[in-house]
Chain A
């Protein structure tokens, strides 16, 4: 008998098996939409984005092949590596845009905070798994500490956008692990009241001589510009004004692909990265924006289905947190482009130009696929 493992059909099957067709289909829709928009927004970058997509899909496939147990065994090393690299950035990092985010390791520059977006939920999921059956207040305190260290390091870089994403990723795990509602509800209320008061008392708070506790000047500027974009129409308000014009001028049906005047006359800054949503809104209208929301909802629902079917506590928590991170990307990006959230540098997931974020996101999808494939075997 010849070895059946090397029969071409079996090889192909082995290649395809890790991939979840539902997630892949949703991903294909998003990536194709991204490519179409890239052709309109910045055609010279479309080819590059294809390459990025290829790399990201390989990363996804590799992650999908990895059984969750193996993934969990990587939790502690990845987390520690991330923290060490973040300390390295604080000590020897390269300063760019007034922030230390990059570490030069000789061959290339890396951004350790990006690694933390995966390592953080992985670490906490692993930790809760270790404590399964004995989860108490102390568990949550330790988890909060594990979360606080890297987030604090990223905040001081300073990088508000990434630290929010990493913090959110960790908090989602803690939330799904069963943090008492008695703690969640007051904090949520406090947040609502705080945001409400910023909106109501925005004018006083944005006086130039008012200093904001814990936020840096540029972050204050962003919030204030959001509250009233016209206060700085030539500078920081420019992004928001122009992107809302682009979105609104799209109407119900849009101006048609490649026909967006706001886009093509260069009114939209960063139109291929963080503001690519305004290209979609201008050229495909309300139909396009709602369709995108629907595709994201499908992705998130699929993620939750995988989380609900996941075999172990750790995989449940991880799948739930990754899904919520996808949501956070999408919500924060569309929120900022449409002018209801401040401008923080968060890309539109699976659509914005840029390799790093795309690889991270696709790794997340790969992990979901792996969890889904191993849903039956809780004890192997």
Chain B
């Protein structure tokens, strides 16, 4: 088939092919033209009838959104029915005049108008848009009486989302909001467009977002005949909707309340986990916010207040903020030393009150002569861990800590979890650009050894690692949802405990570290907070250094407070058979014993004894590192 052709032959051939292509095009268009003729002339009568006189509309039947309840069935997110006044913009010529007229019989605030405008701009196609929500019975009656004046305006019974506890647990429950352009795009990308026909709301944050698919349910359809005005006149067929599943959490909302109250006005976070299952018992980020503000579009003022607050209430400090763990790192370091064979349980190490490395003196609070592993935890010796860090090396530390999930997303069922930083030479290489910054220095290993330096973990990671310490080395994927409950059949689908890994550790090593942590709260740094506790509790105080204000404005008075160290505490109890493991951090709270440990005391007292405190946990200025 080799064809060597002259340019002229080649052009001739091309002309022939263009002719063929043109004929092909005309043939195809003729088919299209024929099809148009068939539809628009031959079938016109029939199709016109179907379109004009006998319009069959598919109306979506929106499913009820699932509720969210705590482990004991206390509702955290629920629905209630209320009347809304809605305007169908495609059927109302002068929207503004209509609203003015409506405001004579129904209370319509400027805020309502602004929201109406906003929703109208964002709304897809020609849905009706609410001008007032939650009408009183009296208002409904007044409107119905004068309905004839307002074509295209209707009262609708709709379900609303309500978060009855307000700020309690706001960060984990999250909220829903009106579907906007970006949500629409996501819905389309997941191929869910049909299922969201008629839905106005979608999960935007927290569990409402993570479990959107389960909570939303399946939209049903009603096939109805509509008259020329678009009103349904006859129901032809019906495919009912399937309500969304309820979420039953592992969370104990009473414990959550106690934990939040214990913070008082202080900023910080707390995560409490059942070490036997990975189920989260409490997840606190203070301060909080009221999710009810978001449901129908947050007002500009409210939004600015939340955004401009220096306390950043929208920030989920439990899973998104990362902090150095401070001395709460030491029990894990001790285990690493024992497991690696670098230390024996009873081996005494010199403690002159400092550690020399590379000509630099790493300081401790005091000189203790010698300490063994037990004492090093109880009195929180730095020198012991400076030496240990040096002996383990950074790779040894990172390799061991990685098993506890530090510096790795835990995979909790909440959106927006931070990864944190488990420092290692490899991390530095990828984190920094300049070659001199990429180098790992031996001195950096020393400060990592006492939980400072580049260490940065979420409170969730710290609590989950503590839970693994409490249960003998099983690292779970923490989760908030215990069961999905089918709203129609009440069938409960459990969320199985998901062990990520069994960390290989010798039982006697774990036991030794636990004994030391129990002693911390008897005679060590946690003793003042746990004086007279009726249960055995293992714990460790920590202090996370704050080095910079990160670009905030300098304000006399505030600075001193915001430069204070963060107070950290980890604990599990009862020490012999733990049912709760937790990590607490109070921002700028000082030493671990001063702020975090007293909060842990209140939470554990409530969880184990049912004692409800009557005021926030005290700030213990006498506490020491």
Contact = CB atoms under 8 A, between A and B. Distances in A.
Contacts of A248: 39-40, 43-44, 46-48, 51
Contact of B15 (A172, A245, A249, A308): A308
B189 A97 contact: yes
A262 B55 CA distance: 9
A338 B14 contact: no
Interface string A174-191: 011010101000000000
A338 B32 contact: yes
A32 interface: no
B40 A289 contact: yes
Interface stretch (A60-68, A293-301, A360-368): A293-301
B355 interface: no
B31 A251 contact: no
Contact of A244 (B39, B125, B226): B39
A339 to B, nearest CB: 8
Interface residues of B, number: 53
A49 B90 CA distance: 21
B110 interface: no
Contact of A316 (B14, B25, B230): B14
B3 A289 contact: no
A251 B41 contact: yes
A238 B41 contact: no
Interface string B235-254: 00001000000000000000
A316 B15 CA distance: 10
Given A96-B189, A134-B4, A316-B14, A286 B32 contact: no
Contacts of A238: 58
A303 to B, nearest CB: 10
Interface string B365-384: 00000000000000000000
A178 B3 contact: yes
Contact of B40 (A252, A316, A331, A334): A252
B21 A137 contact: no
B404 to A, nearest CB: 30
A290 B29 CA distance: 9
Nearest to B44: A251
A43 B39 CA distance: 27
Contacts of A175: 17, 21
A264 B90 contact: yes
Contacts, number: 149
Chain A facing B: main interface SS: helix
Interface string A132-165: 1111110000000000000000000000000000
B191 A286 contact: no
Contacts of A234: 58, 221, 223, 239
Contacts of B18: 176, 304, 307-308, 320
A215 interface: no
A278 to B, nearest CB: 10
B37 interface: yes
Q: Which of B1, B18, B55, B228 gathers most chain A CB within 10 Å?
A: B18
A72 B191 CA distance: 40
B32 A281 contact: no
Given A320-B21, A335-B32, A286 B41 contact: yes
Contacts of B134: none
B44 to A, nearest CB: 5
Contacts of B432: none
A313 B58 CA distance: 55
Contact of A340 (B4, B25, B35, B228): B35
B5 to A, nearest CB: 8
Nearest to B90: A264
Interface residues of A, number: 60
Interface in A254-298: 261-262, 264-267, 281-282, 285-286, 289-290, 293, 296-297
B25 A327 contact: yes
Interface in B176-218: 188-191, 194
B29 A265 contact: no
A301 B46 contact: no
Contact of A235 (B43, B51, B194): B194
A98 interface: yes
Interface in B1-37: 1-5, 7, 10-11, 13-15, 17-18, 21-22, 25-26, 28-29, 31-33, 35-37
A281 B31 CA distance: 16
Nearest to B11: A316
Nearest to B189: A96
A267 B28 contact: no
Contact of A251 (B14, B26, B40): B40
Interface string B89-116: 0100000000000000000000000000
B108 to A, nearest CB: 24
A247 interface: yes
B36 A286 contact: yes
Contacts of A327: 25, 28
B230 to A, nearest CB: 6
Interface string A334-347: 11001110000000
A34 interface: no
A297 B25 contact: yes
Nearest to A297: B29
A58 interface: no
Contacts of B223: 234
A136 B5 CA distance: 10
- Closest A-B pairs by Cβ, 3 of them: A248-B47, A249-B51, A96-B189
23 contacts: A134-B4, A136-B1, A137-B1, A137-B2, A176-B17, A178-B10, A234-B221, A234-B239, A238-B58, A247-B36, A248-B44, A249-B47, A249-B50, A252-B40, A252-B44, A265-B57, A266-B126, A267-B57, A286-B41, A327-B28, A331-B32, A339-B35, A340-B31
Given A247-B40, A249-B50, A293-B33, 17 more contacts: A96-B190, A133-B4, A136-B1, A178-B14, A234-B239, A235-B194, A244-B47, A248-B40, A261-B52, A261-B55, A264-B90, A281-B39, A296-B29, A297-B25, A308-B14, A308-B15, A338-B35
